[in-house]
Amino acid sequence: MSERLHKVLAHAGIASRRASERLIVEGRVTVNGVTVSDLGTKVDPDTDAIKVEGRRVVLAHRPKTYLALNKPRGVVTTMKDPEGRPTVREFLKGVRARVYPVGRLDYDSEGLLLLTDDGEMAHQLMHPSRAVEKRYLAKVRGRPDARALARLASGIPLDGKRTGPARVRITRPGENSWLEIAIAEGRNRQVRRMLQAVGHPVQRLRRIGYAGVLLGRLEAGALRPLTGLEVAALRRAVRGGAASPKPVSRARTRL
């Protein structure tokens, strides 16, 4: 539930409401990395990352929730859709925490989607400076040759800027090959656009890993809580800073 920012600061014990208002007006408070100075600003303390002079505001409340969903194709990665299309909210029945997706998966893409009510964690995972690794399986038209794989590995110009290095291997060659690809960026429809650029349009795309969390054999539309080890992996990922993707592993997931 949204609340006035100065009230949230006061409830967190940062300062009195009047002193909290001064902190805001003086530009010493940020919300999701953006400095705010409007006293009318409303925030959601469960999902927004609030900092005062660079230090995170921590509220004493229930433990954070971290979930993995195998998002099916034909589902929008939002909580509501003005066009009336299915959204990920439909898979959250019984979840009491107010979780939100970490990043997005295209309407036509499927696979691992993380959801959490930890606003700071989500913000850090999505921030470009963290270069968090994402892994995908892609079914493409044709069989990419060594030159195409090398272009993907070295980077593809998109919107005037070359993509970062990727790790790619063919997992199932054929007339329509399956590739595994790991990237450490999150540009709009990036994997699809990279493969289109090398002449192998994507026919199916599934995310199988995000920051050390694997999709594994989670059924389409199924939801599960992350383990303590997986949450620890997310924390290591946001502490690690920019880094190139690790070589693509041979961890198995169903095609």
Quote the tokens at residue 127.
């921030």
**Alpha carbon separation from 30 to 11, 54, 206 (Å, rounded):** 17, 8, 35
Quote the tokens at residue 88.
């990920």
**Which one of the listed residues 48, 106, 145, 159 is annotated catalytic?**
106
CA–CA gap between residue 177 and residue 172 (Å, rounded): 6
Residues facing residue 179 across a β-bridge? 138, 170
Instruction: Return the closest-CA partner of residue 131 out of 182, 73, 87.
Output: 182
Decide the pairing of beta strands 110-116 and 202-210: parallel
81 is catalytic: no
CA–CA gap between residue 143 and residue 139 (Å, rounded): 10
Q: Would you please indicate which residues are annotated as catalytic (active-site) residues? A: 106
